[in-house]
């Protein structure tokens, strides 16, 4: 038996999403049950250390050394994360033609791993690495192998996990770190193919997301505090057009004033139930 708030929420979602023209926007909250740490607590306030800013990453070789040394140790945990019931439910909705588009702020590719396709990755993907010199992309796994090969002294070093695959590492270890070189041009300005703090979302990605919002009948936000402007502005578009905006999120969001309905529930429990009601 479902408790009555859950039943009511599912009835509302079923009603507004019946035509299959909703889009879904996901954030860190959908991946925390998969072991990917969240940036923010339930008040939407940033936890822990400031992540590296884009300008800082670009400015100095030492910044890139620090970034990559930590990222090398953090990668196995990101790499091993598995999609959970919420990712799988959204893949089911997509395959059933029950949603139009899937947009994510996450860089973990767990939607792809769950079987979703054409996911609009607002903030890119940690599974790719971009060379800032020649513009070519490489698989992160290949770059990881290079880093492990050239930094055997870090084998077995433990690091405290932080968000975005970064880790907290003793600075003494960083000084010796050999940064990865691009397999195409041998340049040493390699960057994970993600949008850093202080960096803009790629123009074509922002445009795709905006078009999705314009064409949608409404939007369901899953597990996001919507603090990033690239996500918040999509909510503004939906709300400004008078289309329904609903969030499933534990805790505060930046768009609380714009929401037609906020469901404070765990998405990996609620979304599989939503698949059942929409798939009838
Ligand atoms: Zn290159």
Name the CATH topology of 47-80+126-194: SIR2/SIRT2 'Small Domain' (3.30.1600)
Q: Which two tokens stand for residue 267?
A: 């998405």
Q: 1-36+82-123+201-280: CATH homologous superfamily?
A: TPP-binding domain (3.40.50.1220)
CATH 3.40.50.1220 positions along the chain are 1-36+82-123+201-280
CA distances from 189 to 61, 150, 180, 183, 231 (A): 8, 16, 8, 12, 28
Å from CA of 143 to ligand 1 middle: 12
Q: Rounded distance, CA 135 to CA 39, Å?
A: 29
The answer to whether residue 123 is catalytic is yes
pLDDT digits (tens, 9 = 90+) for 15-39: 999 999 999 999 999 999 998 876 6
Instruction: Kindly tell me the sign of the dihedral angle through the C-alpha atoms of 174, 177, 180, 186.
Output: positive
pLDDT digits (tens, 9 = 90+) for 44-103: 555 556 678 899 999 999 999 989 988 888 888 889 999 999 999 999 999 999 999 999
Q: Which two tokens stand for residue 160?
A: 């405290």
Å from CA of 68 to ligand 1 middle: 16
Which helix or strand (DSSP H or E) is residue 194 part of?
A: strand 190-194
pLDDT digits (tens, 9 = 90+) for 127-155: 999 999 999 999 999 999 999 999 998 88
- The band of 124, judged by pLDDT with boundaries at 50, 70 and 90, is very high
Catalytic annotation, pick one of 9, 87, 123, 127: 123
Q: Which residues contact 217 (CB under 8 A, 6 or more apart)?
A: 16, 19, 21, 22, 100, 243, 244
Q: What is the mean pLDDT of the chain?
A: 90
Q: What is the pLDDT of residue 51?
A: 76
For 223-235, what is the mean pLDDT?
95
Pairing type for strands 137-139 and 101-104 reads unpaired
Q: How many CA atoms lie within 13 A of 87 on its CB side?
A: 25
Q: Is the pLDDT of residue 175 over 80?
A: yes
The answer to whether 272 and 85 are in contact (CB under 8 A) is yes
CATH 3.30.1600 positions along the chain are 47-80+126-194
pLDDT digits (tens, 9 = 90+) for 243-261: 999 999 999 999 999 999 9
Å from CA of 252 to ligand 1 middle: 42
Residue 162, classed as helix, strand or coil, is coil
């Amino acid at each position: 038996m479902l408790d009555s708030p859950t039943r009511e929420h599912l009835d509302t979602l079923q009603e507004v999403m019946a035509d299959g023209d909703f889009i879904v926007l996901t954030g860190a909250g959908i991946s925390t049950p998969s072991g990917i740490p969240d940036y923010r607590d339930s008040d939407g306030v940033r936890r822990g250390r400031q992540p590296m800013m884009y300008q800082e990453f670009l400015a100095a070789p030492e910044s890139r050394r620090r970034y990559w040394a930590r990222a090398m140790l953090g990668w196995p945990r990101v790499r091993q994360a598995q999609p959970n019931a919420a990712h799988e439910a959204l893949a089911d909705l997509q395959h059933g033609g029950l949603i139009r588009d899937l947009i994510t702020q996450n860089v973990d590719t767990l939607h792809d791993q769950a079987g979703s396709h054409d996911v609009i990755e607002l903030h890119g993907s940690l599974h790719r690495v971009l060379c800032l010199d020649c513009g070519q992309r490489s698989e992160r796994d290949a770059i990881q192998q290079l880093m492990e090969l050239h930094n055997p002294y870090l084998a077995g070093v433990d690091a405290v996990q932080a968000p975005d695959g970064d880790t907290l590492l003793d600075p003494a270890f960083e000084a010796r770190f050999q940064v990865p070189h691009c397999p195409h041009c041998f340049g040493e300005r390699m960057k994970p193919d993600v949008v850093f703090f202080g960096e803009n979302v790629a123009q074509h990605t922002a445009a795709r997301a905006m078009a999705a919002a314009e064409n949608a009948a409404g939007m369901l936000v899953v597990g996001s505090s919507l603090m990033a402007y690239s996500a918040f502005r999509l909510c503004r578009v939906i709300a400004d057009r008078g289309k329904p905006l609903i969030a499933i999120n534990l805790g505060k969001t930046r768009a609380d004033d714009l929401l037609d309905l906020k469901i404070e529930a765990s998405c990996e429990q609620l979304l599989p139930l939503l698949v059942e009601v929409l798939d009838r």
